[in-house]
A and B are shown apart, each in its own frame.
Chain A
Amino acid sequence: MTVANERAPLLEIRGLSKRFGSLRALDGLDLHVPGGGLTALIGPNGAGKTTAFNCISGALRPTGGSVRFEAREIAGAPYHQVARLGLVRTYQVVQPFAEMSVLDAVTVGALLRRPHVAEARAFAGSTIEALGLGPKRDIIARSLTIADKKRLELARALATEPRLLLLDEVMAGLTPTECAAAVELLREIVARGITIVMVEHVMEVLMPLADHVVVLATGKVIFDGKPSEAVNDSRVIEAYLGRP
């Protein structure tokens, strides 16, 4: 591999836009995510964070712009194909396979790289174990607590063995103890070499965890840098609190 390739970001987004009628949900978004580590994507409500995730992952077709994942253009590619390339997202509002057991639901994810059901089941089992859902493997997804549903969502995504994970508010609705456990989990995932981009509102969780913060407002990136700098940046403060 050449030096240039090693320096190329894992995810490179240029001028990404998404319009819903006259609303510009994304208005020329530029974003570079280096391989490894955790990037936090923050911004006030309506800034376009979830729309960005939808357009990057293929759930929505962007109106314009380029999304390159591992130097391959994926803007407008079908959702399942993007997942196959190793870019998988989770949902802000959990989307479980309601009538499936935890093990079966995670097996669906594991089947992406392991076509044999027995192998996929075994891998799903170990993923569930690693996320602390082991005792609940036979429980039907519908009857899990919200914290466990979020963990299931994460387990299902991890079972596809992604290289880039987009996590949409995995901490929302968790108690402080559950949050602390989730932070540990995310550290382990990053340590395994999986790059994470996460949307999150709980700042005290994000700040020590993120290597890199990107602030979005009205569909544009207004800040891109270190977490410690973000909290003092006048544009960021203005976006959240308005002009003094």
Chain B
Amino acid sequence: MTIRSHLNVLGIVATALIALALGYHNAFVLNLVFVGLVFAVLGQSWNWISGYAGQISFGHALFFGCGAYASALFAVHHGSPWLGLLAGAGVAAILAVTVGFPCFALRGHYFSIATIAVAAIAEITATNVDALGKANGFEMPILPAGLGTLQFTEKGHYVLVALGLFVVAQLATIALERSRLGFYLRAIRLNQEAAASVGVDARAAKLTTYAACGALAALAGSLYAQQALYVGPEDTLGLPISIAIALVGVVGGLSTVWGPALGAFVYVALARYGGAKLGGTGNGVDLLLYGALILIIVSWRPDGLAGIVHSIRRSMKRRVVEPST
């Protein structure tokens, strides 16, 4: 896709979501859209390190939780989450470099296992620290609504804020694909040794990317916490969250600009909407459906939903061209 077509799609999506956020007042649907946008951002963050750079992370909840806890703590103690939002992003970036420095020396599955371990350590820590509310987590006070507190009376306004972050993540990805770092990450994924032989500092490229991933996922975590008005270890740092983030990336299609967004909305539609419809009595049916979908996509179209969309577009173009030839 050219830059122009990326921007066109982004413009259409943003316009449609703004119209929905301001004009449609169904709290349930708006909440789904909000969660979808948060997961689209998380999936994109995951896609940078696991898609483009090929380092599969199963511990992305570490950064999500980092942002959630940081902004929640500042909301409780200082009445505004903003400093916490920035601090969370900064801490997540530092954590990413700290974790990445030893772990990027590991190849393949070992990196993935290390990411699980580090996120588990964070979850156990949060479960045992008094200031973080231990296993129960803690609730946030209801503050005067507005951008200053990131609390709103209208669900639609949460959607707008999440949309802002989503647009930033998409623009950053479009730029990444066309940058030196983007080329380097692809080269590292395809053949790290050959990349090093022509001067690519693989560790530096991965660390830079991982730090940015951490910051982005933390920002998503902050927004999520401000909307939920609650943070807890399981909800923000748990392995299921890490796996959900990875699944969003895989289902959508690795190393594509739009894969994570597609994956996020399928995930949210199935796991949340499906969960609401099928859950309760038939608990777990939604997960069953989701698992089946992953199996189908991974065995039939490993390039994910974005790959399917791409081939549909190509075959449509061919059909338009054919009569004239």
Contact = CB atoms under 8 A, between A and B. Distances in A.
A112 B191 CA distance: 17
B280 interface: no
B279 to A, nearest CB: 40
Given A97-B186, A108-B183, A83 B198 contact: yes
B200 interface: yes
A74 to B, nearest CB: 14
A105 B198 CA distance: 10
B184 to A, nearest CB: 7
Interface string B52-74: 00000000000000000000000
B187 interface: yes
B13 interface: no
B154 interface: no
Contacts of A78: 196, 201
Interface in A88-115: 88-91, 95-100, 104-105, 107-109, 111-112, 115
Interface in B178-214: 178-180, 183-184, 186-187, 190-191, 193-202
A93 to B, nearest CB: 11
A80 B179 contact: no
B192 to A, nearest CB: 10
Nearest to A106: B198
A28 B178 CA distance: 46
Contacts of A96: 191, 194
Given A95-B193, A107-B183, A108-B183, A157 B178 contact: no
Given A96-B191, A117-B178, A79 B196 contact: yes
A211 B199 CA distance: 28
A115 B198 contact: no
Interface in A130-172: 156-157, 159-160
Interface string B289-304: 0000000000000000
Given A91-B194, A98-B191, A100-B190, A112 B183 contact: no
Contact of B198 (A59, A99, A112, A116): A112
Contact of A160 (B183, B184, B198, B202): B198
B196 A97 contact: no
Contacts of B201: 78, 80-81
Given A80-B202, A99-B190, A117-B178, A108 B184 contact: yes
A38 interface: no
Interface residues of B, number: 19
B198 A157 contact: yes
Contacts of A81: 201
B193 A88 contact: no
Interface string B240-283: 00000000000000000000000000000000000000000000
A84 interface: yes
B200 A108 contact: yes
The winner among B180, B187, B199 for most chain A CB atoms within 10 A is: B199
Nearest to A79: B196
B197 A111 contact: no
A59 B186 contact: no
B199 A160 contact: yes
A186 B231 CA distance: 64
A29 interface: no
Most buried by B among A120, A156, A159: A156
Contacts of A83: 196-199
A57 interface: yes
A84 B199 CA distance: 5
Contacts of A107: 183
A242 to B, nearest CB: 36
A111 to B, nearest CB: 5
Nearest to A120: B180
Contacts of B197: 57, 59, 79, 83, 88-91, 95, 157
22 contacts: A59-B196, A79-B193, A79-B197, A83-B196, A83-B199, A88-B198, A95-B193, A95-B197, A96-B194, A97-B195, A98-B190, A98-B191, A99-B186, A100-B186, A104-B186, A107-B183, A108-B184, A108-B186, A108-B187, A108-B195, A117-B178, A117-B180
Interface of A: 57, 59, 78-81, 83-84, 88-91, 95-100, 104-105, 107-109, 111-112, 115-117, 120, 156-157, 159-160
Given A95-B194, A96-B191, A104-B186, 9 more contacts: A80-B201, A83-B199, A88-B197, A108-B183, A108-B184, A111-B184, A112-B199, A112-B200, A159-B198
